[in-house]
Chain A
Amino acid sequence: MEPIITIRQLSKKYGDKAVLNNINLDVYPGQIIGYIGPNGAGKSTTVKILTGIIQEYTGEVMVAGKVLKDNVLEIKKMIGYIPELAEIYDLLTPREYLTFVGKLYHLSDEVIEDRSRKMLDSFGLLGNIDQRMDSFSKGMKQKVLITSGLLHNPSIIILDEPLSGLDANAVIMVKELLQVMKQEGKTIFYCSHMMDVVEKVSDRIVLIDKGSIIANATISELKQDTNESLEQIFAKLTSDGSQSQKADEFASVFSQKNNE
């Protein structure tokens, strides 16, 4: 099978600071890739390059057999992007925001209306479709954002911390949704800090640290010689393993004060 996303020797610098160093990665259709790494590792930069938001980089990125740099618009049509932190024009209502986004993807009014109603309904937000989002909780906004990212029925879905702010039921729903979309043959690129979720939903884990991929394997391959959880493996690979020592130091601040 041909990979749907191919990344070769991808590097990106901000000034003198290298954010991505020589990234090589193949993603196959219908896969869920868990893309994990500590803060500042280069996750968001990779995502922004894949979605065509950042266009200055070295190396090659191919999506569905096409070179990203030469076919940005065509590839953008294939991709649904759901950013973290609910960056959204929240003075609008979900209906208005989705109409706006739908128009940017050249959808007709009828399709926008039909899809947004159905999708919001499954999120339990249909009752809020005509309310301004500035009164919404973070999770509610995130649901609208997920809807807007999937509205044009993309074949590749890129999620950056999609579960932040969602309540437990919505988290279960999104996890189920990922599985359904996977079965439909969609490719999912999933960035997150939440190791337990990544561990459960991903077919393959890609671990990035300081701009380089330091692990790229299935979860069972990663766990081959050990009984540790993904969280522990992550900690081992991305830090010097001194977390418990640091926690002790933190706690000792109080005991010192009490001793005085």
Chain B
Amino acid sequence: MEQLKAILKVRLTLDDRKPLSFGRQQRVKKDRKYGSLLNIFLSFIMGILYTLPLAIPDRIFSLAFYFTLFLFMLTFMLITDFSNVLFDARDKYTLLPRPVNDRTLVLSRLLYVFIYLLRIVFPMSIAGWVILGIMDGWKSVVLFPLPLVLMVFMALFFVNGIYLLLLRLAKPGRFKEIINYFQIIFSILFFACAYLLPRLFDARRLVNFNIHDFASMRWLPSYWLAACWSWLGFPAGLPGTVWLSSLAVLFPLICLFITVRWLSPQFADKIGEMDSIEPSEQKIAVKTTSRSGKKFYKKLADIFNRSDAAKAGFIITWLQTSRSRSFKMRVYPTFAYVPVYFFYLLTTKREPLNNVWHGLKENPSYLLLLYLCSFVLMQALTYLTMSDQYKAAWIYYASPLVTPGKVMSGGFKAIWVKYFIPFFAVLGIFIVSVWGISAIIDVVLALINVTLFSACIMRIGFRHLPFSIIEQTKQGGVRIIKVFISMIVVGGLGFGHYMAIHMFWLKLVFLLLSGGLLWLVWDSYANTSWESMIKSELE
């Protein structure tokens, strides 16, 4: 019993100090003490979002939507985080060598999973519970926990199934990377839900809600769960679907059985295998033949940079950004934020969606889309300077590097070429195809302006070498003010662009001005000396 208590206590303490699994992560290096509380709070907020569909008058349908959201997000959340819960590699070193018996181990794991799930599911469900209670009275309140428990069974089944599938398909080493992509998608979904759900389930749009548009819902387990409400006398949504409520109970139980019987043990085996792979020096030469021709990134480094230092900055940025999980986690979702934000800002007028699409062409709303891209570039550039392995940056200081600004400029270019230009090009093509060829000059001007904006911010606030500083959320006051001022200045640029939207020649003048300004700022950034870099670090 003492052992069980000790194990659980340590695990829950570790959870408290773990970075958040939600949305846009912000890792603080100092002790995080109330991580779990914050997670519980976020679960609660998410739970409120899910209740939006309950505005649909048909109870079974509204619940079906609610459960779909709940189940989907729960499953996704578990995928991103559950591998740590199911098997913590540290157990192997801390628990297995100690005299702890199997029963205690299994029990501690089960209890831990239970507490873990409770911490997510309970706060997430509070809002739904309360609203149902208010709308339908005590019967709904009593019935509500049943679908929750059944959903947890299903989610566990899906998660285990997906994990197993991933482990089958991918090499063990890639498993964590794929999970990383799930995390990225999850944070996008979270963000999109928070912004778009209120729009989609806007009460005024739901007036025309037609059950038969959603007839295929009957195939979803979440609809079956909702069908249980027919027991309380609510009409059965789609006609003749009351019997599906029996599936609601049967299906999760089958899921649970399969999970416990087959999936979990197999999964544990696989993870165990994964863990036992040790690095070895390969005596047999694998890919050792000297490569003929240069690698793509090296060619690009040569094309875009003149000095060796800039090439070094370009190369490390190009390679490191493709592989660093934390970088991807923080930067990739921003690509999705741009269209989500765009859609969000477009739909503020509460018009039907069709009207929004038709109205799109009539005004230069594409400027918004173009300037929103500065998000992507800025996010990538600021995280370019940060790394968990910031200590490895000693090499810059020990090497005969004359101007650190050259390495920084190489890194900037790598981000620009690798992430920004392709994304901007896709948007550019979309814009030209919708608004016509005359929009090209706007695309180019916005490209210059956004680059200018980012170069300004980097020059003012982030003169650090690539992957050389620890991630921190607290920014120096002076820097915030500087960044704020430059945002106003460049916000002015965007506004100027908007005002000049119908004046081709004026836009051409702006283009030249912005280009000149960019050249000046860039020159100053790329020639950052050791002294000014260290000075800016102290700010």
Residues on A lying within 8 angstroms of B by beta carbon are 51-53, 73-74, 76-77, 79, 81, 83, 87-92, 96, 99-101, 103-106, 109, 113, 117, 124-130, 132, 135-137, 140, 148
C-alpha spacing A101/B395, complex, angstroms: 8
List 16 A-B residue pairs with CB atoms under 8 Å apart, sorted by A's residue number. A52-B397, A73-B401, A73-B402, A74-B400, A91-B320, A91-B389, A96-B319, A103-B312, A104-B401, A117-B290, A127-B281, A127-B283, A127-B285, A127-B286, A130-B286, A148-B395
A25 to B281, CA, bound (A): 40
Q: Do A127 and B397 touch across chains, with their CB atoms under 8 A apart?
A: no
Interface footprint category on B: 35 or more
Note all chain B residues with C-beta closer than 8 A to A136: 279
B398 on the A face (CB < 8 A):
yes
Q: Distance in Å from the Cβ of A119 to the closest Cβ of chain B?
A: 14
In the assembly, what is the distance between CA of A68 and CA of B284, in Å? Answer: 45
Closest to B314 in A: A103
Q: Are B298 and A130 in contact (CB under 8 A)?
A: no
Interface string of B390-421 (1 = CB under 8 A from A): 01101111111110000100000000000000
CB-based contact A124/B283 at 8 Å: yes
CB distance from A79 to the nearest CB of B (A): 7
Select B320's contact among A77, A89, A99, beta carbons within 8 Å.
A89
Give the contacting residue for B398; candidates A51, A100, A127, A132; CB below 8 A: A51
Rounded to whole Å, the gap between the CB of B414 and the closest CB of chain A is 12
Using Cβ atoms and an 8 Å threshold, which residues of chain B touch A104?
308-309, 312, 395-396, 399-401, 407
Which residues of A are found within 8 Å of B392, using beta-carbon distances? Answer: 87-90
Query: C-beta contact mask, B172-201 vs A, less than 8 Å → 1, else 0?
Result: 010000000000000000000000000000
The chain A residue sitting closest to B402, CB to CB, is: A73
CB interface residues, B 406-457, toward A, < 8 Å: 407
| Most interface-central of A103, A117, A137 (chain B CB within 10 A) | A103
Is B227's beta carbon under 8 Å from chain A? Answer: no
Q: Are A103 and B315 in contact (CB under 8 A)?
A: yes
Chain B, residues 272-316, CB within 8 Å of chain A (1/0): the string is 000000110111111110100010001000000000110110011
Having A100-B312, A128-B282, one finds 15 other A-B pairs with CB under 8 Å, namely: A51-B398, A52-B397, A53-B394, A53-B398, A76-B398, A92-B320, A92-B323, A100-B316, A101-B312, A103-B308, A104-B309, A127-B284, A127-B286, A129-B288, A140-B279
Q: State the CA gap A243–B62 with chains docked (Å).
A: 74
The answer to whether B84 has its CB under 8 Å from any CB of chain A is no
Which residue, of B311, B320, B396, B400, has the highest number of chain A Cβ atoms within 10 A? B400
Cα(A81)–Cα(B290), bound, Å: 28
Name the residue of chain A whose CB is nearest to the CB of B395: A101
**B315 touches which of A100, A126, A130 (Cβ 8 Å):** A100
Give which listed residue, A76, A90, A137, contacts B389 with CB less than 8 A. Answer: A90
Residue B532, interface by CB 8 Å: no
Q: A89-B316, A101-B395 are in contact. Are A127 and B288 (CB under 8 A)?
A: yes
Assess whether B467 is interfacial by the CB under 8 Å rule: yes
Instruction: Type the 1/0 row for B466-483, where 1 means its CB is closer than 8 Å to any CB of A.
Output: 010000000000000000
Kindly provide the distance from the CB of A224 to the nearest chain B CB, expressed in whole angstroms. Answer: 37
Bound-state CA distance A137–B277 (Å) is: 11
Residues of B at the A interface (CB closer than 8 Å) are 173, 278-279, 281-288, 290, 294, 298, 308-309, 311-312, 315-316, 319-320, 323-324, 387, 389, 391-392, 394-402, 407, 467
* CB pair A126 B394 closer than 8 Å: no
- A52 near B398 with CB under 8 A, answer yes
* Inter-chain contact A135/B316, CB cutoff 8 Å: no
Query: Hey, which chain B residues are within 8 Å of A91, CB to CB?
Result: 319-320, 323-324, 389
User: What CA separation (Å) do A99 and B294 show in the bound complex?
Assistant: 12
Residues of B within 8 A of A89 (CB): 316, 320, 387, 389, 392, 467
Chain B residue at minimum C-beta to C-beta distance from A107: B308
**How many Å from the CB of B74 to the closest CB on chain A?**
31
Q: Please give, as numbers and ranges, the residues of chain B lying within 8 Å of A92 by CB-CB distance.
A: 316, 319-320, 323
Q: Please, which residue of chain B has its CB at the minimum distance from the CB of A128?
A: B282
Chain A residues within an 8 Å CB radius of B323: 91-92, 132
Q: Complex: how many Å from CA A220 to CA B462?
A: 54
The distance in angstroms between the C-alpha atoms of A105 and B395, with both chains bound, is 10
Most chain A CB inside 10 Å of its own CB: which residue of B278, B323, B397, B399: B399
Residues of A within 8 A of B283 (CB): 124, 127
Residue of A nearest to B280 (CB): A137
Alpha-carbon distance between A91 and B315 when the two chains are bound, in angstroms: 13
Contact of B288 with A126 in the complex, beta carbons under 8 Å:
yes
Question: Which one, B285, B286, B311, B400, contacts A73 given CB within 8 A?
Answer: B400
How far, in Å, is B351 (CB) from chain A's closest CB?
Answer: 47
Residues on B with beta carbons closer than 8 Å to the beta carbon of A135: 173, 279
**Chain A: which residue is nearest B285 at the CB level?**
A127
Q: Within 8 Å CB of A51, what residues of B?
A: 397-398
From B284, B392, B394, name the one whose CB has the most chain A CB atoms within 10 angstroms: B392
Provide the bound-state CA to CA distance between A224 and B286, in Å. Answer: 53
Whether A128 and B281, one on each chain, are in contact in the complex, defined by CB atoms closer than 8 angstroms, is yes
CA distance A74 to B402 in the complex (A): 10
Instruction: Pick from A90, A96, A136, A137 the residue with the most CB of B within 10 Å.
Output: A96
